[in-house]
Amino acid sequence: MRTGLVKIIITAFILSVTTLWNGAGAQQLMSNLTDDSVAEIYNMEIEDLMEVDIRTGKPGWFETQLEQLRFEPVVRYDQASLDDGTGHDIKRSTIGLIYYPNPELHPIFNFRISQDFVHDDGTGDSKHEFVAQCVIGF
């Protein structure tokens, strides 16, 4: 009961701080942190400019929809050749999803979930892993 009350008080406090944080100065500061799309726009040819969504600064329907949802899909395959005489290499495939609540803080603050399929961990074994991460960069 007491823990619940403490959580509500902390949330209320953080909500008030957030209101201030989202003010003009902080917004400007945050928007200056990173904006890869801007660099892309400045190198575009005229045909590509016609495809850029003014809300996101990015071309393409799919990319724009993902940007609006703030999700980024991840598909990865890793292979490391080991010279340890076992004849096994590390082979791993990953599929996952990155969720970023704030597009401007995307690289330094996001949540990730992924399913790792370890086909060979270097010893001949295989296993699957589910990973949930919260990334906070400084």
| 78-107 residues near another protein, rule: CB under 8 A | 101-105
Nearer to another protein (CB atom), residue 25 or residue 87: 25
Q: Please return the burial class of 8, using the count of CB atoms within 10 Å of its CB with bins 0-12, 13-18 and 19+.
A: exposed
16 binds another protein (CB under 8 A): no
Question: Of these, 20, 32, 45, 84, which contacts another protein (CB under 8 A)?
Answer: 45
Question: Of these, 82, 97, 134, 137, which contacts another protein (CB under 8 A)?
Answer: 134
Tokens of 56: 């996101």
Contact 51, 79 (CB under 8 A): no
Min dist CB 24 to another protein, Å, is 9
Length of the chain (residues): 138
What is the spatial distance between Cα 111 and Cα 95, in angstroms, rounded to a whole number? 14
Element (H, E) at 112: strand 109-121
Nearer to another protein (CB atom), residue 47 or residue 83: 47
Sign of CA pseudo-dihedral 29, 24, 57, 38? negative
Binding site for another protein (CB under 8 A): 7, 10-11, 14-15, 17-18, 21-22, 27, 30-31, 37-39, 41-42, 44-47, 49-57, 64, 68, 101-105, 109, 111, 134, 136
